[in-house]
Amino acid sequence: MSTEYDEYLMDDNLHINWYPGHMKKTKDLLRDNLKLVDVVVELLDSRIPFSSKNPDIDKFVGDKPRVVVLNKSDLADKEKLDKWVEYYKQQGIRAIPVDTSKGVGLNKIISECKNVTKDKMESLKEKGRKERAIRMMIVGVPNVGKSSIINKLTGRRSAQTGDKPGVTKGKQWVRLKGDLELLDTPGILWPKFEDQEVALNLAFTRAIKDEILDIETLALKLIERLMKIEPEKLKARYKLESLGEHPLETMDMIGRKRGFITGRKELDYTRIATTVLNEFRDGKIGNITLEIPDDIK
């Protein structure tokens, strides 16, 4: 990567468009199995609630009862997270912040699923239908933490987990405590990102595989965003007295501060990029939310 800042200003584009073949199969799986469930649990990333919301899901779900889960709440900014909860409340939807590492909010998912399906289950009972478990479907983009939530709800390692998108490969029914059954599905993205800022947010949080991206440019874009919305946290994490005039200058400062120098005495941009991306994803730069309801166009 060049250290010429004017070159960076002329050419800093990173166009993201990723739609693996299995995503279409997942879409068909979702559509075909929706009729089997009573409630849809829509899982969003608390750091990017808008960007991690798949617009296709609204079309699929329609009027079926829905519960919104704001996962990874431990990595988000509390004040901004509260704004998202209020945003959904105004739409008549209860959004539940969840932190799977501490088990926060998990019981509320079960109770809210029972709450929103109460009328349907009572109607079935009145018609003389045999009492059965409430059937849930959990949906969300890759790497939003579906398997981790399922494992916590079941109390056992019932779903495969991993810190990469695409770990859940196919449909699986999972029995939950509290007389519920859950249909897990693979993560689903959409064929084309109309808004590249949405695509970047998904890439920042690893919903899109690093392997198909230019991580140096991606990290540069993240630094640019953090310089705008969380400059103090960025300075504190990398022990910088000030930030650069341009994102690449800040990236250079981070590299020198951490000693990421190659054998030829040049900055190791791959190492800088990997470090910044991983430390953002792990919450080491701080609790950061990249968007708020006011940002929705």
Binding residues: 71-74, 143-148, 187
By the 8 A CB rule, do 138 and 181 touch?
Answer: no
- List, in sequence order, the alpha helices (H) in 127-214: 146-154, 196-204
* C-alpha to C-alpha distance for 181 and 39, rounded to whole angstroms: 11
* C-alpha to C-alpha distance for 111 and 97, rounded to whole angstroms: 14
Cα-based angle 181, 105, 282 (whole degrees, multiple of 5):
110
Task: Report the binding-site residues for GTP.
Answer: 71-74, 143-148, 187
Which amino acid is it at 146? K
Closest CA to 22 of 244, 242, 171, 213: 171
By the 8 A CB rule, do 161 and 206 touch?
Answer: no
* C-alpha to C-alpha distance for 283 and 297, rounded to whole angstroms: 27
Residue 38 structure tokens: 């009573």
Largest CA distance in the chain: 78
